[in-house]
Amino acid sequence: MRYQLFSVLFASTVVSAAETYDYIVVGSGPGGGPLAANLARAGYSTLLIEAGGDEGSNPTYADIGNFIESSNDEATRWDFWVKHSEDPARELKFKHTTWDTGDGTFYIGNDPPEGAKHLGIQYPRAAVLGGCAMHNAGVCSLPQDSDWNHVVNSTGDKSWEAPNWRKILKTIEKNDYLPAGNPAHGYNGWLSTATQDGAWTQNDNSSGVRILKKFTQLIGQDPSAASTLINNDILGDYPNKDQISSLYSMATHSDSKGKRSSPNNYVRATLADPAKYPLTLKLHTLATKVLFSNTSAGMAHAPPRAIGVEIMTGPSLYKADPKHVPGTKGPITQVYANKEVIISGGAFNSPQLLKLSGIGPKEELAKFGIPLVKDLPGVGENLGDNYEGSIMALSTQPLNVGLTTAIFRTANAANKNRNIYTWCGGFSFEGFWPGYPTDYGPNQWECAFVHIGPKSQAGTVKLVSADPQDVPDINFRFFENHGNQDLLEIVAAANLAREAWAAAASPAAPFQELHPCPGPLGKSPNCTDQDQADYFKLQAYSHHATSSCSIGADDDPLAVLDSKFRVRGVNGLRVVDASAFPVVPGAFPSLPTMMLSQKATESILEDAKS
């Protein structure tokens, strides 16, 4: 059974060309969904456009523990097939590379059947009300202060200074894990946050606790305090927090009952009071281009102004949708904005929509016959992501413990800040492919790593045609700049985890490592730092794409946006989503993007009053 929010607002209804709102927001994910709700709550008529449907009442999405099922679900999944490099031979060595067999099934691996078509590396996105915040694991962490201050240093806008972002967190947060009154947190916002139970750490005789204590020692903390440290507030406000290596309690955007909290909830709550909040939602609606006028306020030679959006209506119109039927199109109409158009399609679709609308590198647009509105070479450039990897093993018997979550600095880090976020436990996560993950049975044991502060943001999002239903070409160009440094930092994290696991003792030990050094734990002859770096260079994965429409300085030729999210060289157009970050924000971008949405709300409302 499908769970849908049936409404007269469904985009299957053909609209009049004169349909006009104050604001149009394209995309309902962590950037666009909260922004649209905020603008409506401020009294402005707002249209929110979403290419997918609504699964907010579906337990597969509403229960955050079902994130594996939701991210695999064809009901909302968009499959982007990305590359990690320009080297075809290297791409074929990714062990979860995916092939279309031609009979409706996928082959995963490096020995495909004859005639199979190579697709690439799966990068699932969610076409659904709430965006990728509806199919992720909901992990919440904050960027490093230097990530926020990067914008201050490049643009001079002091409103981006790190302390101001604590106020924004408190505005949107509804903390569900600490007593009311904690000055670091908010309790009246729309986004619930909850944490994990650390009671399992009280059993000093378990192999899992022995590993935990050794891990605690290796990151520079007192092992006897491990059961206390594991309850540390990962979203807390500490002096010099970015330099503190410690255990933490993993936080998620969910409530204490395990119900997902996302932009979906906030948008639906806003729609529930139409008399008070003028928000209109169009589902199953694909934005095909932004519409512009040639002059602004009647003045000659003024920059082009965004005045609306062209839309195509119908389900599964975008070719990344596995349910898309080739040749299917929908009716095309226009909707208009009195004030502004805001693009919030994410790191892949926002640059694509800008380019389809005539904003981007002029040579690329000319190649596809797209009339140039503004030459912005940075659109689709600077694509970045956290590198992710893992060390996986099989224990002799199940450890039956909870998660160990830590943020720490490896000894070889490039600066004084922490550079690794890890979570360890009896699970399997090795990236994405159709039907992921591999289940290694009850004895599986893993530490998964997110590398913080990647040195290389050389990825690109490029058009393959002028057809808005086509999927762009996406290449992350992993490790292209300063790659060896990043690789060795990831290797150092794996070495630390391996050393901690050696403390397990019987009955869980000995461990049999599956990767990156197959064989008895710590005894593989091919486990040098270089051996492991070679492995991670081929097998690292990611799912935190950012920065493809990045904010930057006036004199930066690749800057797409100013510090108020305005697209440079045109009026009435902003981009508010993870593509706006100039650098990858910390370890997980979901919460930072929802904070970004609140920051954009304040900028837009301030401009509306001027």
Q: Is 500 annotated as a binding residue?
A: no
Spatial distance between the Cα atoms of 252 and 137, rounded to a whole number of angstroms: 8
Contacts of 441 (CB under 8 A, 6+ apart): 394
Q: Is 136 annotated as a binding residue?
A: yes
Spatial distance between the Cα atoms of 281 and 48, rounded to a whole number of angstroms: 5
Spatial distance between the Cα atoms of 449 and 464, rounded to a whole number of angstroms: 33
Place of tokens 């969904």: 33
Phi, psi of 166 (to 5 degrees): -65, -40
138, 260 contact by CB (below 8 A): yes
Question: What letter represents residue 127's amino acid?
Answer: A
Tokens of 575: 């981009």
Q: Is 15 annotated as a binding residue?
A: no
Quote the DSSP letter at residue 30.
T
Helix (H, G, I), strand (E, B) or coil at 394: strand
Spatial distance between the Cα atoms of 54 and 4, rounded to a whole number of angstroms: 5
582, 454 contact by CB (below 8 A): no
Q: Is 138 annotated as a binding residue?
A: yes
The residue among 175, 177, 170, 167 whose CA lies nearest residue 249 is: 177
Spatial distance between the Cα atoms of 345 and 481, rounded to a whole number of angstroms: 27
Q: What residues does 337 pair with on adjacent strands?
A: 21
Distance of CA 273 to CAs 48, 130, 263, 279, 443, Å? 15, 19, 16, 9, 50
Helix (H, G, I), strand (E, B) or coil at 177: coil
Quote the DSSP letter at residue 158.
G
Q: How many CB atoms lie within 10 A of CB 358?
A: 20
Contacts of 513 (CB under 8 A, 6+ apart): 391, 392, 393, 498, 519, 520, 521, 522, 524
Place of tokens 């981007």: 360
Q: How many CB atoms lie within 10 A of CB 400?
A: 13
Quote the DSSP letter at residue 107.
E
Q: How many CB atoms lie within 10 A of CB 566?
A: 20
Reported as type and span, the H/E element at residue 353 is: helix 346-356
Quote the DSSP letter at residue 201.
G
The residue among 417, 312, 299, 297 whose CA lies nearest residue 356 is: 312
Q: What residues does 416 pair with on adjacent strands?
A: none
Spatial distance between the Cα atoms of 248 and 235, rounded to a whole number of angstroms: 9
Distance of CA 282 to CAs 36, 129, 136, 222, 601, Å? 12, 10, 23, 54, 21
497, 424 contact by CB (below 8 A): yes
Return binding residues for FAD. Answer: 128, 136-139
Binding-site residues, please? 128, 136-139
